[in-house]
Amino acid sequence: MTRTDENPDTTHFGYQDVPTGEKADLVKGVFDSVASRYDVMNDLMSGGLHRLWKRFTVEQADVRPGHRVLDLAGGTGDLAIKLAPAAGDDGLVVLADINAAMLEQGRRRLVDAGVSGNLAIAQVDAERLPFDDASFDRITIAFGLRNVTHKNTALGSMYRVLKPGGKALILEFSTPAPAIRPAYDLYSFRVLPLLGRLVTRDPDSYQYLAESIRKHPDQETLLAMMQDTGFERCRFHNLSAGIVALHVGYKF
């Protein structure tokens, strides 16, 4: 099983070992580079499946009118644009990301869609959330935990700002079923960088994507990490044969 947060001095950036303090800037460089073409690449890379994965996440979130929702690593707003109507006029959705370029794309998209009255935008670090304890009824993070330097720290920060009775949902690339791994590896390491070169002129960022997926904790490991943080009734749903998994946990 994949382990995380073991060495305080170094961490992984894809398959590279880098000083811990440098990872955030390296990840920032990736998303600065691809922000303007991020949504196009998501559709191309997944054949549109990412929309179904995110729709399932929104359904599982079960956001109700009046809920306060934190969409971490929300980037261009794919989840926020669906969560805001569910929260209603009396609720609030905070679109949060550490990357300003991604947030700018999300802000433009949400304004164009007419989502504004119950939406706030915040540039935050998932490891050090600047919110009061027990502030949110739901926390979502889609394809963002993989890029966090200290995942256990981020999970603890999420747990702190979640209200008792609240739910956290983590959608992330995971470990697929053995039968499809050879084809999945071929696609990840050959096709993704090629798409990155053609669409964003940045194959290295999509090489990092493929590598970072392999360094991310597998389904059972992430489940155990959530339980160790204090989340209860934890479970995960494998999507597309485990290429992606949605982890869910509650705070009581």
Residues 170-226: pLDDT tens digits? Answer: 999 999 999 999 999 999 999 999 988 888 888 888 898 899 999 999 999 999 999
pLDDT bracket for residue 35 (50, 70, 90): confident
Asked whether residue 23 is assigned to any structural domain, the reply reads yes
Asked whether residue 243 is assigned to any structural domain, the reply reads yes
What is the distance between the alpha carbons of residues 180 and 242, in angstroms, rounded to a whole number?
A: 10
Asked whether residue 5 is assigned to any structural domain, the reply reads no
**For residues 77 and 32, which has the higher predicted lDDT (pLDDT)?**
77
CATH no. for residue 39? 3.40.50.150
Domain that holds residue 151: 10-250
Asked whether residue 2 is assigned to any structural domain, the reply reads no
Q: Is 95 helix (H, G, I), strand (E, B) or coil?
A: strand
* Count of structural domains, the chain: 1
pLDDT of residue 28: 80
pLDDT of residue 1: 41
**Strand 162-173 and strand 119-123: pairing?**
unpaired
pLDDT bracket for residue 9 (50, 70, 90): confident
pLDDT of residue 7: 55
List pLDDT tens digits, range 77-132: 999 999 999 999 999 999 999 999 999 999 999 989 899 899 999 999 999 999 99
| Nearest of 138, 168, 150, 148 to residue 231 by alpha carbon | 168
Task: 197-202: list long-range contacts, CB under 8 Å, 24+ apart.
Answer: 199/37, 199/40, 199/41, 199/44, 200/33, 200/34, 200/37, 200/41, 202/33, 202/34
pLDDT bracket for residue 3 (50, 70, 90): very low
Asked whether residue 4 is assigned to any structural domain, the reply reads no
pLDDT of residue 198: 87
